[in-house]
Amino acid sequence: MRDLLTALALVLVIEGILWALFPEAMKRAAQRALLMDSGQLRYAGLVAAALGVVLVWLVRG
């Protein structure tokens, strides 16, 4: 449970840094996401999740 909370906290830190450093780029990215088809968003989310699982597997062994 501790690892899960740490991971969620890191997501918030990284996303917060991106919004703080690049607010206009993040707004453009959010606008582009609104224009995307739900299937495209779902596919992108699944790919990101799969890459995350592989990365955790490689790092944690």
State pLDDT tens for residues 12-39. Answer: 999 999 999 999 999 999 999 999 999 9
Provide the total of helices (H) and of strands (E) in the chain, helices listed first.
Answer: 3, 0
Show the domain range for 22.
2-60
Instruction: Please tell me the distance from the alpha carbon of residue 10 to that of residue 3, in angstroms, as a whole number.
Output: 10
pTM: 0.75
User: Measured in Å, how far apart are the chain's first and last C-alpha atoms?
Assistant: 18
> Radius of gyration over alpha carbons of the chain, in Å?
14
Tokens 């299937």 identify what position?
39
Tally the domains of the chain.
Answer: 1
